[in-house]
Each structure stands twice: as structure tokens, then as C-alpha cells.
């Protein structure tokens, strides 16, 4: 495993180093798909904000495949997966007193999301 030294940081910041990886596999979600953010509580590093856990959203865009930071930060491998821009309504996040016109978009990894099952 490579170790990031303080001497390396300046160059990475200047070049805009990316964690995008070259893996080709079909994404689970497409733009317009409703999703439910998993209500999980991993120990250690995660990029999943607590305030969106258990909330419904809609996929806005698929950015492609990236290293999963939750495993990478702990030396457990890259676990490459799709990252999506996911849109939440303000009311979904903060209740009926929130504006019905406002939305919030977050970039979330596939492992944080489940499909919304139709209630038919």
C-alpha cells in the first residue's frame, strides 16, 4: 500500500489527483431512479453524512467508477464502484417546514444506496 507523505500533498493538490479508476461494469442506477440511502453506522471513516441516512432521493447523474474511501482509508482495498449525484428535497431532509422548492445534491457511492421498491 502506498503511503502519502507531506512532500506529495502539494503536487497532488496542484494536479487535481483523482480516485477515478478504469473499471467497466454496469451501474446499478441511472438518472431518474429513486433511491433510499442506507441507514448504516460504520466504524471509522465514511463519506456518508448522518443527516441523509434513511432518506429518499433521486439519482441525477452517474460520475463513473471511483475508489470507495470507506475501505481504502482502512487499507482494505479499493472496492471500486459507481458514484452518483443524488438529489434530496429539502422537505425530505428537514421536514414540512422546509421550502418545497429547495434541493440538495450529494455525491454518494453505490454502497450507500438501495433501490426504492415500488409498493404495488
Listed by start position, the domains of the chain span 19-115
Q: List strand residue ranges (DSSP E) for the chain, in order.
A: 34-37, 56-66, 81-89, 103-109, 113-115
What fold characterizes domain 19-115? SH3 type barrels. (2.30.30)
Residue 34: closest CA among 63, 56, 62: 56
Say yes or no to pLDDT of 94 above 90.
yes
The mean per-residue pLDDT over the stretch 22-41 comes to: 95
Whether the pTM exceeds 0.85: the reply is no
Residue partners of 40: CB distance under 8 A and separation at least 6 = 48, 53, 112
First to last CA, the chain: 48
Amino acid at each position: 500500500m502506498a503511503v502519502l507523505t507531506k512532500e506529495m500533498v502539494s503536487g497532488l493538490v496542484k494536479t487535481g489527483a483523482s480516485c477515478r479508476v478504469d473499471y467497466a461494469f454496469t451501474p446499478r442506477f441511472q438518472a431518474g431512479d429513486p433511491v433510499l440511502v442506507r441507514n448504516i453506522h460504520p466504524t471509522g471513516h465514511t463519506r456518508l453524512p448522518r443527516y441523509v441516512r434513511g432518506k429518499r432521493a433521486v439519482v441525477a447523474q452517474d460520475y463513473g467508477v471511483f475508489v470507495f474511501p470507506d475501505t481504502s482509508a482502512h487499507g482494505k482495498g479499493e472496492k471500486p464502484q459507481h458514484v452518483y449525484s443524488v438529489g434530496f428535497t429539502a422537505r425530505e431532509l428537514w421536514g414540512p417546514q422546509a421550502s418545497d422548492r429547495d434541493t440538495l445534491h450529494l455525491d454518494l457511492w453505490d454502497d450507500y444506496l438501495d433501490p426504492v421498491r415500488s409498493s404495488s
